[in-house]
Structure 1
Amino acid sequence: MKPPLLMGIAGRSGMGKTTLIERLIPALSALGKTVSTIKHAHHGFDLDRPGKDSFRHREAGAREIMLATGSRWALMHEQQSTQEEPDIDSLVGRMEPVDIILVEGFGARLPIALEVWRREVGKPPLWPERPAVRAVALGDACDALADLPPALVTFRLSDVGEIASWVVDNARSAVRRAAGE
């Protein structure tokens, strides 16, 4: 199977990245694509909790702990405290093959990204400092369309079908450019 198409979903906290991803997954599925996601968690975030069996296994020195039920499984891999965060390629390599992986939170490390930006949140956009941002999904109340550089493709956040089509077309183009085609 071909490597998956990667698309970064970028934006500052509170912009609506997760909400857009929730809406993009079924829209991409409707286009016949299988979809997975990678979400960068904040440094203080931990799935494991003191007192849980998995926590006790980890504290005893287990390198990996797998939690499994009849409906899902999760693998926790204990990193050495001195190791850097894993790169995107190593994370993708651990996943089942799919057509597209939406990546939230690693945007600066991807060749192409779509930014979610809502002026009403009051935070500046990322696109001026991130060349990977090729498109911006704006809050529906945003009047900033005229303020954006013409090189950026713009969408309303509610135009999920159009965004999904753009993701498929542009993630594919980024893969071809990376492969030198």
Structure 2
Amino acid sequence: MKDFPLPLLGFCAWSGTGKTTLLSRLIPLLRRRGLRPAIVKHAHHDFDIDKPGKDSWKLRHAGASQTVVASRNRAALIREYDDGRPEPSLADSLRLLDPDTLDLVLVEGFKHEPFAKIELHRPAMGRDLICAEVPEVIAVASDAPVTLPRPLPLLDLNDPPAIADFVLQSLDKPLPRVAP
């Protein structure tokens, strides 16, 4: 994939920092401002969105490599990766989206992939700043004062409207796209 047609903005942090919580608060704010965001979330563990006993679950467990469940209100693709291939990249995940129905993609995780991201940091957790090692971090959102290793905007993690403002300001400039 040479280029993705929409702006990407990632949110990276150590586990338990509150990435999903922040995104759950940001999405409605962005929707109210007229944007149609998508989310791509990286999972470090196995997961299943299907429900045991449902028809789609039975068909998957019978051996279907891919299952699409579609209704009037939504559709879902469940793709099994049981053939030993490497974990899907961000580019692989982006290919599953329909860019014509979206304005931007918010990404949770994939911190080592080359695209712009906001780091969430809670000093009380005692973890190192990711921005010291990941040059694509364009801002840090923290719940307490923190000394940053390089000049970056410092956002209040507990102020989602201000973070939404930053996201919108970032969209005024072209955000880096995912690399090939």
Provide the TM-score with structure 2 as the length reference: 0.82
Distance of 1:153 and 1:94 partners within structure 2: 32
Which structure shows the bigger proportion of residues in helix conformation? Answer: 1
Question: What value does the CA root-mean-square deviation take over the aligned residues?
Answer: 2.4
Question: In the alignment, which residue of structure 1 is the partner of 2:18?
Answer: 16
Q: Secondary structure in 1 aligned to 2:105?
A: strand
Distance of 1:84 and 1:67 partners within structure 2: 25
- Percent identity of equivalent pairs: 38
Question: In the alignment, which residue of structure 2 is the partner of 1:125?
Answer: 129
Question: In the alignment, which residue of structure 1 is the partner of 2:85?
Answer: 83
Q: Which runs of 5+ in 1 are unaligned?
A: none
Distance of 1:59 and 1:69 partners within structure 2: 21
How far 1:175 moved relative to its partner? 3.7
Distance 1:85 1:168, change over 3 A: farther
Question: Aligned letter for 2:161?
Answer: G
Distance of 1:50 and 1:29 partners within structure 2: 33
Check whether the contact 1:7–1:110 (CA below 8 A) recurs between aligned residues: no
Residue among 27, 30, 49 paired with 1:28: 30
Question: In the alignment, which residue of structure 2 is the partner of 1:154?
Answer: 154
- After the TM superposition, which residues 94-133 of structure 1 pair with which residues of structure 2 at under 5 Å, given as runs? 94-97=96-99, 98-133=102-137
Check whether the contact 1:40–1:106 (CA below 8 A) recurs between aligned residues: yes
Question: In the alignment, which residue of structure 2 is the partner of 1:37?
Answer: 39
How far 1:105 moved relative to its partner? 1.3
How far 1:158 moved relative to its partner? 2.6
How far 1:36 moved relative to its partner? 0.9
Provide the TM-score with structure 1 as the length reference: 0.82
Distance 1:42 1:150, change over 3 A: closer
Check whether the contact 1:9–1:104 (CA below 8 A) recurs between aligned residues: yes
Distance of 2:90 and 2:41 partners within structure 1: 11
1:135 pairs with 2:136: no
Between the two proteins, the alignment pairs up a number of residues equal to: 173
Check whether the contact 1:115–1:136 (CA below 8 A) recurs between aligned residues: yes
Distance 1:33 1:51, change over 3 A: closer
